[in-house]
Amino acid sequence: MDEDTNNNSLIIVPKRVERIKLHERISHAVNALGFLLAAGTGLVLFYKGLKKLSGGTRSRQLHRVGAALMISAPFFVWGKDWQGWKKTWREITYFSKEDREFLKRAPMYMLGFPVKMPPQGKFNAGQKMNFLMVTFNSAGFVLTGGLLMLRRHLPEKAFPYLIIAHDIQAIVGICGFMAHAYLALLHPDTRPSFRAVIDGTVPVEYALGHHALWSESQKHKLD
């Protein structure tokens, strides 16, 4: 804790530690914006009845703007720090014994039961799963969406399969997004991490409680 004196009153300012760098936050924001735009306009394309409600906006063009934002998002990270990205990818694709135990206990934790979770590194096993789901689902969107854009050059019978695959990806993506938003905005235990996507920091107590193994490696910054 830092102490700040103001007019003889003592204000305790909780100490914070950096978790997400600026280029990672920009990438996250661009991806979120693109996803929400693509999801919103995708629903209009899916359910034509929504077209009336959308005031006749150009859903198809906006859907492609959302797609372009999603595709551009990882380049903010790849372009700025390729080595850092490779390290993050190695961490995200490695599931330790603690991670596997974390996943077993995660459903009860998400429902709000007081479950003791095993110590975690910079990313907990749930964040790893979310990251992998977003990566592979986005690659799927690019593939099926890209083929849908080229449909005039493809055999006609491919169209329904591409649409069904794209729709399944939309359902998986929207469910994953809702779980992610619930943890970031509503769950009382994980909500304090939300500011990290804006200014990159979390409270030190949060880092110690939720990412004990990572905090150990950041000790020099926490003291």
Strand, helix or coil for residue 17: strand
DSSP class of 4 = E
Contacts for 147-155: CB closer than 8 Å, 24+ residues apart: 149/64
* C-beta of 11 vs 142, nearer to ligand HEM: 142
In whole angstroms, how close is the CB of 146 to ligand HEM at the nearest point? 6
Chain-centroid distance, C-alpha 42: 19
* C-beta of 17 vs 67, nearer to ligand HEM: 67
* C-beta of 77 vs 170, nearer to ligand HEM: 170
**C-alpha atoms less than 13 angstroms from C-alpha of 221 in its C-beta half-sphere:** 16
In whole angstroms, how close is the CB of 159 to ligand HEM at the nearest point? 10
* C-beta of 38 vs 117, nearer to ligand HEM: 38
* C-beta of 74 vs 200, nearer to ligand HEM: 74
- Minimal CA–CA distance to 61: which of 37, 83, 25? 37
Asked whether the beta carbons of 125 and 97 are under 8 A apart, the reply is no
* Residue 168 CB coordination number (10 Å): 13
In whole angstroms, how close is the CB of 218 to ligand HEM at the nearest point? 34
Residues that bind ligand HEM (CB under 6 A): 35, 38-39, 42-43, 45-46, 60, 63, 67, 70-71, 141-142, 145-146, 148-149, 163, 166-167, 170, 173-174
Q: Which helix (H) or strand (E) holds 16?
A: strand 16-18
In whole angstroms, how close is the CB of 178 to ligand HEM at the nearest point? 11
In whole angstroms, how close is the CB of 74 to ligand HEM at the nearest point? 12
List of residues 6+ apart from 42 with CB closer than 8 A: 63, 170
